[in-house]
A and B are shown apart, each in its own frame.
Chain A
Amino acid sequence: MNREIINLKNLSKSYNIAGKPFYALKEVNLSFVEGEFTGIVGPSGSGKTTLLNIIGSLDSPSGGEAIVLEKNISSLNHSESARLRNYNIGFIFQVFNLLPVYTVYENVEFALLLQNFSQDERKKLVLQALEWVGLENHKDKKPDKLSGGESQRVAIARAIVKKPKILLADEPTANLDAENAHSILKTMKKINKELGTTFIFSTHDEKVMKYLNRTIILKDGNIEKETKK
């Protein structure tokens, strides 16, 4: 049995809307083990992004606990949560979020700058990451010269270049056509197998479902159903 790396206990997140609390997540209990390839599925507004942001310590819970890699998210300060992200968590967003002034190579390299890699080490890692996503020939292009599928691949390369334990992807295929969506998922699956990276997705895209080992269906901040393959 693989090691448990994320444990959510009675996790809640509420926002104050017009003076009344509004629950984006309600007492969610979930745990994830190393090497999972899991999708959080639900309609828009069901709390998927909120859940991923809390796991990634970009947001903090209003109730319950989120333990990520043995760290309690609520108790981390700014720099501790930055550190957690820096070494252990990669993000992929729905919008590709590449920095337009940098080349593909530089966008990926960016993620390494906070750690003390030498220039040679960085080069090796970046080229390797670009190879995984099949973009080694596009490394000197600027993002505006790339297709949507290619852009998302760069984002994946940027997320995995540090070889994080956890990769969080918030609707990574939402802006892609079917062909690109499938190819992106295959790439991620490959990385999941080869590097053992834990993948947690959010999606409401049917195409994604068949790739998932585990599906968690979220509705109005509650877990409605969970299926495992």
Chain B
Amino acid sequence: MIKFIIKGILRDRSKSIIPICVISLGVFITVFMTGFVKGVLSEMLTTNANLDTGHVKVMTKPYYENKDQIPIDLALLELSSITQDLVSKFPDISWVPRIKFGGILDVPDASGETIIQGPGLGLGINLFDTSKGEIERLSLKKSLISGSIPKEPNEILLSHDFSKKLNIKPGREVTFFGSTMEGSMVFETFIMSGTIRFGNPVLDRSTFIIDFTMAQKILDMGDGTGELLGYFKTNFYEDSKALKAEYAFNETYKKSEDEFAPLMVSLRNQNDLGTTIDLVGSFGSIFVSIFVIAMSMVLWNTGLIGGLRRYQEFGIRLAIGESKNHVYFLLLLESFIIGLIGSFIGTFFGILSCYYMQETGIDIQDALSNSAVIFPTVLKAKVTNDLFLIGFIPGLLAMFFGSSLAGRGIFKRSTARLFKELEV
């Protein structure tokens, strides 16, 4: 019987091709949008994590509270022992220190007179210890516009925009003016090695990068750092793990009298990223729910799976002695098969498009030029495992709901009514 019914469906386009198209389209949109939005959101998390927040970040409490002022005077001391402690407590996280500091870059002429100067945001990162992976993390090589990445401690890397503002090219000497951790004056001469563009307006405005150890030295920080960033060795942010680490670490310092006690803050609790994380998690389900409802309505209302045309067949089948239950069961089975086919097609194209969008992406750099948040400049989809499944939920459910609604007619009407409707 089922073979017979399927044969009939395949021969009747309005019963097969059109519902399959509707399902495929819905599944396609679900898969693609989910992949795209999740891609963008998780890219946003990755960008934030790499450029700023880490997966978790350890600072002193007052530093955290005043972090907008880049307060190196509130730095975290005894970096080596804290790092050691962290490594043993959280073996699946790797730790890298960074120093953020403010100051002025001054471009002198041959006689040492200032030609031009401008305030900048300094970033001391591990440029020479490749095991720390900072060059990859900040994708310095990819972002390089001119010159090269510093090879010597006295070399400095400028954001391209900043270098244009100062009107200098690689090879040029610049002097950094600032203050040490203790508040004394610093001036140190660097040689500009190259320029980079992060693709992020916040960082591109006036960032300059020097080596971490050099920063420690000139800012007189001893064995200290502004921030200590932790990254899961898997390279993926795992919210629950991060929160657990955050809780466990902070618990040990809860009773500490030291007002400069270290504090761990997870990515979730930085830069208002909590909502983004929640959205990444729930976006799929939100989208799926909307589509299940919308598509069931479309399928049912257009009568693609029910309707009078179908009732003729049901009527005949009842007349030849098929039971209502059996008719209903086959209707559901049949919609399951159509749903399955549609889901396969939709998922296939959805993933294909996501894959394409993962490789190319949409460049929104221009639209972002005034943005104050760290946001990826290229919107990319992300092909994840769950994308392979997510389309089947609306695909199958919509067909199922639609059929259930349509099939209710079999039971609601008395058998005789079904026949009366045939007598048009």
Contacts and interface: CB of A to CB of B under 8 A. Distances in A.
Interface stretch (B145-153, B168-176, B321-329, B394-402): B321-329
Contact of B416 (A53, A82, A109, A113): A53
B13 to A, nearest CB: 10
B250 interface: no
Interface in B1-24: 1, 4, 7-8, 11-12
A37 to B, nearest CB: 21
A99 B316 contact: yes
Contacts of B326: 82
B324 A53 contact: no
A199 interface: no
A101 B323 CA distance: 22
Contacts of A114: 1, 320-322
A95 interface: yes
Contacts of B11: 101-102
A91 interface: yes
Given A110-B316, A114-B322, A53 B419 contact: yes
Interface string A195-219: 0000000000000000000000000
A97 B423 CA distance: 10
A94 B423 contact: yes
A114 to B, nearest CB: 6
A78 B422 contact: no
22 contacts: A50-B416, A56-B319, A59-B414, A78-B323, A79-B325, A81-B415, A82-B318, A82-B323, A84-B321, A85-B318, A85-B320, A86-B321, A91-B320, A93-B319, A93-B419, A93-B422, A94-B423, A101-B11, A101-B12, A110-B4, A113-B4, A114-B1
Interface in B295-326: 312-313, 315-326
Contacts of A110: 4, 316-317, 320
A106 interface: yes
A186 interface: no
Nearest to B324: A78
Interface string A83-112: 111110101011101011110001001110
Contacts of B7: 102, 106
Contacts of B4: 106, 109-110, 113
A48 interface: no
A128 B8 CA distance: 24
A111 B320 contact: yes
Interface string A110-126: 11011000000000000
A113 B77 CA distance: 84
Given A59-B415, A101-B12, A113-B1, A83 B321 contact: yes
A95 B323 contact: no
A58 interface: yes
Interface in B107-157: none
Q: For B316, B321, B323, which residue has the most chain A Cβ atoms within 10 angstroms?
A: B321
Nearest to B11: A101
Given A87-B321, A91-B320, A99-B312, 11 more contacts: A56-B319, A58-B318, A78-B324, A79-B323, A85-B318, A85-B319, A93-B419, A99-B313, A101-B12, A102-B8, A102-B11
Nearest to A115: B321
A87 B321 CA distance: 7
Contacts of A78: 323-325
A152 B302 CA distance: 31
A59 B422 CA distance: 15
A125 to B, nearest CB: 13
A102 B12 CA distance: 10
Contacts of A94: 423
